[in-house]
Amino acid sequence: MEKETYLVIESLDCPTCQAPAGSPCRTSSGKVASIYHTPRFTAHPRLRNELKHSTPKHRNPGASWERLDAPAIAAASVEGNEIRLGYARCSSNGQELQSQLDALEPVCNKVFSEIISSRIKQRPELEKVMQLARQFTDAGQSVTLVVHEFKRLGRGALDLLQIAEKLRMDGIQLEFLTGPLSGKHDPSGYGNALFAFFAAMAETERDYIRDRTLEGLEVARKKGKVIGRPVVGSADMAVMARALKDQGKSVPEIREQLIIPSGKHKGEHPSVRTVYRLLGSE
């Protein structure tokens, strides 16, 4: 038997022998059954096409049957009810995350949140909510992953589509509370195409913003505007720095003899890094 599959099977009561959730199946003579009853494991989407599942050895098949404690996953849910798991994310501290939590908490059984850039591939809280969702679907529950807006879920079209595929494989519904995708979607049906369309739109918009930014920078350069941090130093400083170096002076000694001629740091000594730059070492 696949590791932990028995926990999935035992997450529901057995309709054949009436064994409660958390306990193995039993025979008519009051012994632990050597295999689980078919109606019990075929109730789970992942196992419905299986022919049989043996009771693991540590459940003591053939021994006198005793009722065991129900697993946490069974106790945390009621069969037939939808489990709604929320996920919130923002890139930096602020009220943005709290506004997502305020919207998700009233409509979800549990909410996972994190402050992390969407560019970071490993998002621990997203992994946690996906794992818990899979546990509930394996136990026969209907699960919906609820997100405030689709851009909170992925970092680009490819990432969003990969997440959608995972949801489809696990039979997990997806719901967005706001934005162009607001509403519930089934990633295995029409919702998948709609999801892909808006994900592509988001990626296109991101590329458009980047292109506009680059165009704006190029226009600014042509107008003579300084792009980036102001340059500290001058041609005269560079000549003097090289002359001092030729005299055998160290970089700290050169720094002490140079004075910034203008700008915010006028009258101050340049940094060691600036000296290296003037000397052409950086």
- Give the start-to-end residue ranges of the domains of the chain: 1-75, 82-203, 235-278
Say what the pLDDT of residue 80 is.
46
pLDDT at residue 145 is higher than 70: yes
pLDDT class of 226 with cuts at 50, 70, 90? low
Q: pTM here?
A: 0.48
> What pLDDT is recorded for position 94?
58
The CATH class for the domain spanning 82-203 reads alpha beta
Mean pLDDT of 249-274: 84
Q: Is residue 77 very low, low, confident or very high in pLDDT (cuts 50, 70, 90)?
A: very low
The catalytic residue positions are: 91
Q: Give the model's pLDDT for residue 125.
A: 92
CB 39 within 8 A of CB 33: no
